[in-house]
Amino acid sequence: MFKRVLTFIFIGCASLTFAQLGGESTYQFLNLVSSPRQAALGGKIITNVDYDVTGALYNPATINIEMDNQLALNYVSYLGGISYGTAAYAYTWDRRLQTFHAGITYINYGSFDGYDLDGNATGTFTGNEAALSLGYAYNIPYTDFYVGANVKLISSKLEQYSSFGGAVDVGVLYINEDLNLNAAVTLRNMGYQFTTYAGQQEPLPFEVNFGLSQRLENVPIRWHLTLENLQKWPIARPNPARAESDLEGNQTQEKVGFFGQLIRHTIVGAEIFPEKGFNIRLGYSFRRGEELRIADQRDFSGLSFGIGLKLNKLRFSYTHARYTSASNTNFFGLQIDLR
């Protein structure tokens, strides 16, 4: 069984390496950060195996019995007046079938003023997208490996254009209880546009991530390391704003070496008191920090920090993520124990 899973993963990677990063595929909202906790740890954390029902939106292999009857609602005040949110719920059927998971991701791009080619006003229009997912995880017998999958239906409407698609996420998780170490691989958004916006087929934002995390033995900290977008190398492009000019006016474009490419795939995070009722979370996305930093300014792009607070059957989460000096993002989350 495990060999079949690995074969499927390698075939998926080989057949979907054409997938690109932001701006080069459709349904980009599928790769947005799904919760305040994930955002605080730098984004794209795929190794948490606990009560956090929203984590399964990014890695279905983390679906577990602790998520039973947990309902999570998250809201993000995003950039440029955009807002989006997620909701997730898990239910344990019985000891044999274990836990099923359902989730929704929704984004609203706000209201826009429309104009024709001659500059005449045509009224306002809106744009929004949504994805509904159903997930399940399975423990490979007599091993410490877990596999999971999310099946997603995707709907998008941008002005008068609409599109409908479907995708599958696959995750593999390894848990070493002796070392308190988790390792995971995810293949996300393997799918297809069933109906296009205007007759042109577009790829989905396929993404491969690898993650590690460990609960330190004598210190109340769990550290996280994620390598994102492993389906593409190189990941960085020269920033025209960082081009250098000599005395004759000749420009030299920014060069990104091997280490610069490697670091842009890296996300680090740490959660202090991860198993207590009050948590402190810190994270840093090197790609966001490099792409959004302003030369000769210290704006802390890429940094994020947040807190979690448990009160009886409620868990509150808040995260502030630094993007640029002009705009940053706040994440709000509420998880309810319905048991």
- Give me the phi and psi of 131, to 5 degrees please: -140, 130
Who has greater pLDDT, 297 or 227?
227
Structure token digits, residue 333: 């989350």
How many C-beta atoms surround the C-beta of residue 166 within 10 A? Answer: 15
Q: What is the mean pLDDT of residues 54-72?
A: 96
Structure token digits, residue 155: 């709907």
Q: Which residue has the tokens 């949504």?
A: 130
Total tally of structural domains belonging to the chain: 1
The answer on pLDDT for 7 being more than 80 is no
Question: What pLDDT does 297 receive?
Answer: 67
The answer on pLDDT for 175 being more than 50 is yes
Q: What CATH number has the domain bearing residue 64?
A: 2.40.160.40
The answer on pLDDT for 302 being more than 70 is yes
Dist. CA 155–CA 195, nearest whole Å? 10
What tens digit of pLDDT does each residue of 84-134 get? Answer: 999 999 999 988 889 999 999 999 998 888 888 888 888 888 999 999 999
pTM for this model (two decimals) = 0.86
Q: What is the dihedral of CA 112, 117, 120, 123, to 10 degrees?
A: -30
Dist. CA 263–CA 209, nearest whole Å? 14
Structure token digits, residue 251: 């420009």
Question: What pLDDT does 115 receive?
Answer: 87
Contact, 292 vs 13, CB < 8 A?
no
Mind giving me the DSSP string for 79-106? GGG-EEEEEEEEEEEETTTEEEEEEEEE
Q: What is the mean pLDDT of residues 15-26?
A: 55
| 242 CB-near residues (< 8 Å, 6+ apart) | 254, 295
Q: Which residue range is the domain that position 180 belongs to?
A: 2-337
Q: What is the DSSP letter of 4?
A: H
Q: What is the DSSP letter of 140?
A: P
As beta bridge partners, residue 303 has 284
Dist. CA 138–CA 148, nearest whole Å? 6
Mind giving me the DSSP string for 307-319? EEEEETTEEEEEE
Q: Residues for the chain: how many in total?
A: 339
Structure token digits, residue 57: 């939106």
Dist. CA 60–CA 135, nearest whole Å? 6
Give 150-153 contacts, CB < 8 A, sequence gap 24+.
Answer: 150/56, 150/57, 150/60, 150/101, 150/103, 152/30, 152/189, 152/191
Helices (H) then strands (E): counts for the chain? 4, 16
Dist. CA 326–CA 242, nearest whole Å? 19
